[in-house]
């Protein structure tokens, strides 16, 4: 919207006479608050208002709550239909299987895409040796910090609070920890 504004000075005597006059004035006019004095009031008038279409607006987030509520309601009604709803249930099951196969294919091809991105970034770098050294120091620091935290600090807290041997606990959860380390799952 394109608007031109015009500022008009009006006498403040009419406003001072009664509260009714002030109320009716404020309903009709827009006052510039930075130019009010005891003698006059500056009124803002809009002229040449042109409305332009700004296009379709996008929201920053999806309406997930609406999707979840609609899905739950759809599932409840579909389960209540019994045999009549079976074709839709079969169709949804088939759609789920197609989506899972698509995800499997994407997972199998993702290393190629990631390797291509890494290769293109490596080619664009100027000082690969310096960046590799800094990255190696960062990785080493993270591993040392996590090792100290996992094998010294957490067992010490466990031993102090529970008064039990922490290494027996580590022995029991070693397989799970190695699986988590190998798959990088959290």
DSSP per-residue string spanning 78-147: HHHHGGGGHHHHHHHHHHHHHHHHHHHHHHHHHHHHHHHHHHHHHHH-S-HHHHHHHHHHHHHHHHHHHH
Residue 56 has pLDDT above 80, yes or no: no
Listed residue (44, 42, 48, 43) closest to 4, CA to CA: 48
Percent of the chain with pLDDT over 70: 81
pLDDT score, position 76 = 94
* Lowest-confidence region among 40-49, 51-60, 158-167: 51-60
Domain ranges, ordered by start, for the chain? 129-185
Percent of the chain with pLDDT over 90: 45
At 3, is the pLDDT very low, low, confident or very high (cuts 50, 70, 90)? low
């Amino acid at each position: 919207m394109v608007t031109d504004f015009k500022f008009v000075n009006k006498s403040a005597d009419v406003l001072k006479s009664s509260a009714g006059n002030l109320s009716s004035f404020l309903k009709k006019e827009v006052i510039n608050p930075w130019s009010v004095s005891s003698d006059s009031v500056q009124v803002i008038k809009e002229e040449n208002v042109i409305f332009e279409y700004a296009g379709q607006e996008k929201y920053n987030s999806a309406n997930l709550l609406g999707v979840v509520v609609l899905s739950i309601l759809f599932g409840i009604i579909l389960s209540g239909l019994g045999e009549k709803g079976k074709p839709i249930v079969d169709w949804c099951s088939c759609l789920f299987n197609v989506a899972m196969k698509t995800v499997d294919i994407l997972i199998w091809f993702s290393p190629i895409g990631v390797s291509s991105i890494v290769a293109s970034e490596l080619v664009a770098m100027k000082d690969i040796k310096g960046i590799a050294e800094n990255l190696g120091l960062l990785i080493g620091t993270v591993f040392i910090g996590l090792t100290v935290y996992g094998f010294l600090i957490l067992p010490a807290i466990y031993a102090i609070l529970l008064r039990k041997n922490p290494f027996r606990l580590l022995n029991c959860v070693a397989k799970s920890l190695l699986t988590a380390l190998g798959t990088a799952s959290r």
